[in-house]
Structure 1
Amino acid sequence: MWHQQEIHLAELARGFHLITDEVARALPCLSECCVGLLHLQLMHTSASLTLNENTDPDVRHDLNAFMGNLIPEGLSYFRHTLEGPDDMPAHVAASLLGTQVTLAVRDGRLALGTWQGLWLGEHRDQGGPRRLLATLNGCETR
């Protein structure tokens, strides 16, 4: 089976947001897939996707703090500044973390580890709504 669709995410504040359940709800066809792969591609260059710990809220805080220290706004050597001081740091963060992930699907669900979740990293103050292109490939039976 092959299935492809866009998933639309509402505008989110700057930071890291757990989107695992939202993605799974948007893809009811996951339940038909016994074994497969789900590829998610974020259709933007100033946000990111990452797989990380999904339980402790301190993870969100610590990821935000680390990225802010690693890529601060206002660096004098950034030339791409017409879209605001948060834009170029957002592009750097998206390049470092990545804008796509591939997840295993098993028995109709995402095959994630006990503490794993899918996170959207919103690296702009007002990034707007975001779009994911989801491509599912798998077998309906074993």
Structure 2
Amino acid sequence: MHITASVFINDDESGLHHDYEVWLEKLAPHSPTDQYRHNGYEDNADAHMKRQVMGREVVVAVTDGELHFGTWEQIFYGEFDGRRPKRVLVKIIGA
């Protein structure tokens, strides 16, 4: 529930998580901060862009109380600008 954080589904594999960090930093590098018009009050324009790429929500099917995932999939929270507290909203919709 914050514009510089992400929720996504993927494999729970540490090498993949590292690769995401490296890839996102290449797509939207933090420095130099003056490359972004958004920066001024806060230097977090890169965090906004990283969140845009990774997404803000996930939808998961649930049957009989079980999440429907692939074998190694899990839900992850991505934090791209850790300067303030964040919250996560879980909403269950269905019969």
Q: TM-score range by the shorter chain?
A: 0.7 to 0.9
Distance in 1 between the 2:42 and 2:33 partners?
A: 15
Matches within 5 A, 1:40-55: 43-54=1-12
Q: Would you say the 8 A contact 1:53–1:116 is kept in 2?
A: yes
Q: Would you say the 8 A contact 1:46–1:127 is kept in 2?
A: no
Among 26, 42, 45, which residue is 1:88 paired with?
Answer: 45
Q: CA deviation at 1:75?
A: 5.2
Spell out structure 1 runs of 4+ moving beyond 4 A: none
Q: TM-score, normalised by structure 2?
A: 0.86
Q: CA deviation at 1:76?
A: 4.1
Matches within 5 A, 1:1-142: 43-54=1-12, 56-73=13-30, 74=32, 76-81=34-39, 82-84=41-43, 87-124=44-81, 126-139=82-95
For the aligned residue pairs, the C-alpha RMSD in angstroms reads: 1.5
Distance in 2 between the 1:119 and 1:128 partners?
A: 19
More strand by share: 1
Residue in 2 aligned with 1:39?
A: none
C-alpha offsets along residues 87-142 of structure 1, whole Å, 9 cap, x if unaligned? 10000111121111111111202111111011111112x33332122221223xxx
SS in 2 for 1:79: coil
Unpaired runs of 5+ in structure 1?
1-42
Distance in 2 between the 1:134 and 1:117 partners?
A: 15
In our comparison, the structure showing a higher alpha carbon Rg is 1
- Percent sequence identity is 32
SS in 1 for 2:69: coil
Q: Would you say the 8 A contact 1:90–1:123 is kept in 2?
A: yes
SS in 2 for 1:66: helix
Aligned length: 93
